[in-house]
Amino acid sequence: MALATRKSTAGNKAASSARPTAARSTLRKNSTPSEFTRDEDVKAYREMLLIRRFEEKAGQMYGMGLIGGFCHLYIGQEAVVVGMEMAQKDGDQVITGYRDHGHMLACGMDAKGVMAELTGRRGGLSKGKGGSMHMFSVEKHFYGGHGIVGAQVSLGTGLAFANHYRNNGQVSIAYFGDGAANQGQVYESFNMAELWKLPVVYVIENNRYAMGTAVSRASAQTDFSKRGISFNIPGEQVDGMDVRAVRDAAERAIQWCRDGKGPYILEMQTYRYRGHSMSDPAKYRSKDEVQKMREEHDPIEQVRSRLLGAWKLTEDDLKAVDAEVREIVNDAAEFATHDPEPDPSELWTDILK
């Protein structure tokens, strides 16, 4: 199948269409990623910071009782969605699980709409009826937000089937966790995706834990890039704390799909700093482990030091970016606190009758 080539959005680099040597699960995380331009570093910094500040604010608002139900924060994993997004083109679809606020912000969804959904207000992206795990945007090609572990993998494969059927050149990006990678439907999806050469990038966000269970306790094969071997799906391990490495790998994977060669697996080696959800006793790891990761591998700090070092931005330049991001987040929080709750008549809308 020859997929039509689509117009590239500004800032996208041309990706190599050659079959990567890493296609058979070579560990790539020590290879040097291609450098970002100054503008790309500024963009990555701003976008990752927006996600982090948004999530910190959501955590505070949860503590104040303004957010009910489930809430899973993405803090620590920001480089994954931001690097992936930098390699995507307009029209590529994104689907993920319940740790989804970062994915929505990276897709360009409105911070006010996301925050107001968390607080259950009528201006929320699902009119205040879905909450943290259930938001969608047709306009931004974001297909949720799913609370059932692994469900998004088969749905994301379905999106890729539609792209293939329509020959529209679009690629679907299906994100899931290391825990979800052990779900049965993932492998049914892999089989069909390779059989029909569907344009889907499976992004396994290996943040080392599934709730309180470490990867090594739950997975017989902890190299997730190898999970597609029996289906002939190429895979790579990627340093998911380095936004440049993520974008590099994303470009290879997306191009592979767009060239009609079928699915591709990217294992993003990342880490979540906060608990699984808002109520997590965190007995399964030490504070030192978290601290070490923050100090040595933080994705935002890596870009920040490049901006101050190689790109010679000043502390005041970065403060201006911080202030802009804080304003977006504060406005979102303000809106989400004062917007009214949905009208009771909404109980009877958007339901299957």
Ligand X SMILES: Cc1ncc(C[n+]2csc(CCOP(=O)(O)OP(=O)(O)O)c2C)c(N)n1
Residues that bind Mg ion (CB under 5 A): 177-178, 207, 210
Helix ranges restricted to H, the chain? 38-63, 78-87, 101-106, 111-118, 151-166, 184-195, 215-218, 243-258, 287-297, 299-308, 315-338
Using the minimum distance from each CB to ligand X, give the nearer residue, 55 or 178: 178
**DSSP secondary structure string for all residues of 231-247:** GT--EEEEETT-HHHHH
Q: Is 147 in the site for ligand X (CB under 6 A)?
A: yes
Contact 61, 333 (CB under 8 A): yes
Local structure of residue 31 (DSSP, 8 states):
S
- When computed from its CA atoms, the radius of gyration of the chain, rounded to whole angstroms, is 20
Q: Which of 48, 116, 149, 233 binds ligand X (CB under 6 A)?
A: 149
- 54, 62, 142, 209: which one binds ligand X (CB under 6 A): 209
Neighbours of 225 (CB within 10 A): 27
Angle in degrees, 0-180, between the axes of helices 38-63 and 78-87, rounded to the nearest 10? 140
Could you give the CA distance from residue 131 to residue 287 in angstroms, rounded to a whole number?
30
Residue 205 or 236: the one with the smaller Cβ distance to Mg ion is 205
Query: What is the x/- site pattern for ligand X, positions 72-101, by CB under 6 A?
Result: ---------------------------x--
Site size for ligand X (CB under 6 A): 13
- Would you say 149 or 241 has its CB closer to ligand X? 149
Residue choice 4, 148, 320, 347 for contact with ligand X (CB under 6 A): 148
Which of ligand X, Mg ion, none does 180 bind, CB closer than 5 to 8 A by kind?
Answer: ligand X
Nearer to ligand X, 43 or 272 (CB): 272
Question: What residue type is assigned to position 211 of the chain?
Answer: M
Q: Is 148 or 310 the residue whose CB approaches ligand X more closely?
A: 148
| 125 three-state secondary structure | coil
345 phi and psi angles, rounded to 5 deg: -65, -20
Q: Between 31 and 277, whose beta carbon lies closer to ligand X?
A: 277
Smallest gap from Cβ 196 to ligand X, in A, equals: 25
Q: How far is the CB of 269 from ligand X (least distance, A)?
A: 13
Contact code string over 255-294 relative to ligand X, x by CB under 6 A:
---------------------x------------------
Residue 7 CA to its chain's centroid (Å):
23
> To 5 degrees, how large is the angle CA 4–CA 10–CA 16?
55
Q: Which two tokens stand for residue 166?
A: 């329509």
**Interface with ligand X by CB under 6 A: which residues?**
99, 147-149, 177-180, 207, 209-211, 276
